[in-house]
Amino acid sequence: MRALFAGFLVLLSLPALAADLTLSLPAGTRTLSTTELLKHPQLQALDIANDVAYERPMHYRAIPLAALLEGVKDSDHLQVVALDGFAAELAAGPVLQQAGSRAWLAIEDPAQPWPKLGADKPSAGPFYLVWTNPEASHIGPEQWPFQVAKISRLTSLAERFPALLPASDASADVQAGFAQLQKNCLACHRLNGAGDAQFGPDLNLPHNPTEYFSGDFLARYIRDPQSLRRWPQGKMPGFSPQVLSDAELQQLIAYLRHMAGRKAS
C-alpha cells in the first residue's frame, strides 16, 4: 500500500477546496471542476468496506471512472498522477469493466471534507480512485491512487521507457517480474532513470537493491521495510502475501537481479 504521504505542505492546514481534474484522453484534453463532477448524472453514494488509504470503511460520492474515459479502449494504458508525484500505471481493461472489480472516482465535496489521512496530513482528496470488489481482478493497493490530479491515456511503459525492458532472451520469471514492477513499484520508483514517478529512489542507479541486500533480506524488506530499517520518515509500505504472493515476489527479485546487469550509462 502506498504510504500516507504528506503531499504539498501548503495544503496541510487548509480545509478542502474545490479542485480541477485534468483528463488527457483520445478525444482531447479537458478539465473538470469539483462542482462539475458533483453534478455528474452518474454520481452516486458509494460504500467501500476496506478502504486502502484510510484502512477502514468509508462512504463517498463517486462516479464510475469508465464514464469519464471517453474514447479509451480495453487495450489502452492509463496513467493516474497524484499531487505528490505518485504515478499509477494502469491497464485500461479493468478500469473500464462493468462487472467484477469496478473503478470509481470519489469526489471530495468542499462542504463535507474527508478526514485527514493522519496528523499533519491532508485528506485523500480532492479525487481518489477507489474500487468495489477489488479481489475479483486482483487489484493491488498501488492501484488506489489518492489526491488525484490528472488521468491520461498513454502508450505502454515498454514503449515509453525501453530502459525498463529485460533482455529479449530473459527467463519467464524475469519477464513476469517486469509485470510485477509495473504494477507494484513504478508508481513511486524509477529504474535506469526511466519512469514518471517523482517519489522514491531509482531501483538500478547507482546500485540495484540486489547488490546491497544479501540472502533473503531484500524479500524481507519488501514484505516489511520497517522490520529492517526503522525510522519515522520511512514511507515505503510493506507488500503482504495477499498483495504480492511469494511466487510474484521472487519474480520481482529475479527481474531486479537481471536488471543489475543492464544499467543505463
What's the pTM value of the predicted model, to 2 decimals?
A: 0.80
For the cut 70, the answer to whether the pLDDT of residue 3 exceeds it is no
Quote the cell numbers at residue 69.
474515459
Least confident stretch, 8-22, 112-126, 160-174, 190-204: 8-22
Domains and CATH numbers, the chain: 9-154 (3.90.420.10), 158-259 (2.60.40.420)
For the cut 60, the answer to whether the pLDDT of residue 6 exceeds it is no
Q: What is the pLDDT of residue 241?
A: 86
Task: Read off the pLDDT band of 192 (50, 70, 90).
Answer: very high
35-58: average pLDDT: 96
Quote the cell numbers at residue 70.
471517453
Q: What is the pLDDT of residue 125?
A: 96
For the cut 80, the answer to whether the pLDDT of residue 32 exceeds it is yes
Q: How many angstroms separate the Cα of 215 from the Cα of each of 204, 209, 212, 228, 231?
A: 18, 12, 10, 13, 23
152-160: average pLDDT: 91
SS (H, E, C) 52-107: CCCCCCEEEEEEEHHHHCCCCCCCCEEEEEECCCCEEEEEHHHHHCCCCCEEEEEE
| Coil vs helix vs strand at 160 | helix
Q: What is the pLDDT of residue 13?
A: 39
56-62: average pLDDT: 97
For 72-106, the pLDDT digits (tens) are: 999 999 999 999 888 899 999 999 999 999 999 99
The CA distance from 186 to 176, in Å, is 15
The CA distance from 137 to 177, in Å, is 18
The CA distance from 69 to 73, in Å, is 9
103 compared with 140, residue with greater pLDDT: 103
For 208-248, the pLDDT digits (tens) are: 999 999 889 999 999 988 877 766 655 687 888 888 899 99
Quote the cell numbers at residue 233.
520518515
The CA distance from 195 to 161, in Å, is 7
Quote the cell numbers at residue 203.
531501483
pLDDT, mean over the chain: 89
Instruction: Give residue 31's Cα distance to chain centre.
Output: 21
DSSP annotation string for 114-137: PPPSSTT---S-SEEEEEESGGGG
Q: What is the pLDDT of residue 231?
A: 66
For the cut 90, the answer to whether the pLDDT of residue 67 exceeds it is yes
The CA distance from 97 to 85, in Å, is 27
Nearest to 101 by CA among 128, 65, 71, 68: 65
